[in-house]
A = this chain, B = another copy of it.
Amino acid sequence: MNAPAAASRLSVPTKGEETRAAILEAAVLQASTSGYASLTIGSLAEKTGMSKSGLFAHFGSKEELQIAALDEASRRFTEQVFLPAMKAPRGLKRVRAIFDNWTTWPERAKLPGGCPVDQATREFQHQPGAMRDAVLERQRVLDRELSKSVQMAIDAGELAADTDPRQFAMEMIGIMLVFYRVQLLIGSTEAAERAHVAFDRLIKNHTR
C-alpha cells in the first residue's frame, strides 16, 4: 500500500461517508426483513430521519440504493463468515468454521430477518436486470470461494481425493438454505442441530 492510500484508510471518515454508512446500515436491516423491493428513497429517509433530497445526494435511484445495500450486505457476510474462518488452518477445520459462522451470522449481525444476501437471491434471481446480475455474480464468488476451501481440504488429505469440490460446495449451500428455511418452523436450535447432522454426514461421505 502506498503512503497516500494508507493515510486515507487511517483517516477519520468524512461526514458524508458516515451518513452513507448509516443509510446502508438501515437499508441492509430493512432488506433482510422486508426485501429489497421495499428500499425506496422515501422509506429510507423516514428510517434515517434524513430528507429525501439528502438521500438522493448519496443514491441517485432506488436501484442504485438496492445495489449498494447488496454490496454492503456481501461485505458484512465476508467479514462475518469468511474472514474469521481464515484464522482456522487450511483444510477441514476451515470448511467447518465457514459452515458454523454461516449458520450464526444473521444473529451475530443483528439481522432478525435472516441473511440479506440470501434475501437478494430469493428476490431477484428470476427478474432480469442489474440486481439479478449482481446476485448471480455474488453466487459465482461464493461458489468459487467455497470450492477453494474444499479443494484445500482435499489437498491436505482430509477429504477423499475423488471429492468434487463444486458438488460438495453445492450440497453445503443446500443445507444452509434449508436451515434458513426451517428455523421458523422448528426453531433455531433444532434447525441448527439438523443442519449439523446433514453437514457431518456430507463430510463423513468424503473422508472414508
Contacts and interface: CB of A to CB of B under 8 A. Distances in A.
B34 A125 contact: no
A67 interface: no
A interface SS class: helix
A125 B119 CA distance: 11
A123 B121 contact: no
Contact of A174 (B33, B166, B175, B184): B175
A205 interface: yes
Interface in A154-179: 166-167, 170-171, 173-175, 177-179
Nearest to A125: B184
A140 B185 contact: yes
A42 interface: no
Contacts of A86: none
Given A33-B126, A113-B126, A125-B181, 12 more contacts: A34-B126, A35-B127, A114-B126, A122-B122, A122-B123, A136-B185, A139-B182, A167-B197, A170-B194, A174-B175, A174-B178, A205-B205
Interface of A: 32-35, 37, 112-114, 119, 121-123, 125-127, 136, 139-140, 143, 166-167, 170-171, 173-175, 177-179, 181-182, 184-185, 194, 197-198, 201, 205
Nearest 7 Cβ contacts at the A-B interface: A174-B178, A122-B122, A174-B174, A177-B177, A113-B126, A173-B178, A171-B198
